[in-house]
Amino acid sequence: MERTGLKFGPLAPDSLHVCVDMQTLFSDGYPWALPWFGRILPGLEALCAHRPAQTIFTRFIPASRPGEGRGAWARYYQRWAAVTLAEIGAGAIDLAPALRRFVPPARVVDKHVYSPWLEGGLDALLRDSGGDTLIISGGETDICVMATVIGAIDRGYRVVLVADGVCSFSDETHDAMLKMFARRFSEQLEVCRIADVLDAWRR
The average pLDDT across 60-69 equals 95
Within a domain: 10: no
The average pLDDT across 184-190 equals 92
- Domain of 192: which CATH number? 3.40.50.850
Within a domain: 2: no
The average pLDDT across 166-173 equals 92
pLDDT in tens, 100-159: 999 999 999 999 999 999 998 899 999 888 789 999 999 999 999 999 999 999 999 999
Residue 94 above 90 pLDDT? yes
What pLDDT shows up at residue 1? Answer: 46
Confirm if 69 and 120 have CB atoms less than 8 A apart. Answer: no
- Show the domain range for 117: 16-62+91-200
Residue 4 above 80 pLDDT? no
Ramachandran angles phi, psi of 149, nearest 5°:
-65, -50
**Residue-averaged pLDDT of the chain:** 93
How many domains are contained in the chain?
Answer: 1
Confirm if 109 and 59 have CB atoms less than 8 A apart. Answer: yes
Within a domain: 195: yes
What pLDDT shows up at residue 203? Answer: 60
The pTM of this model reads: 0.94
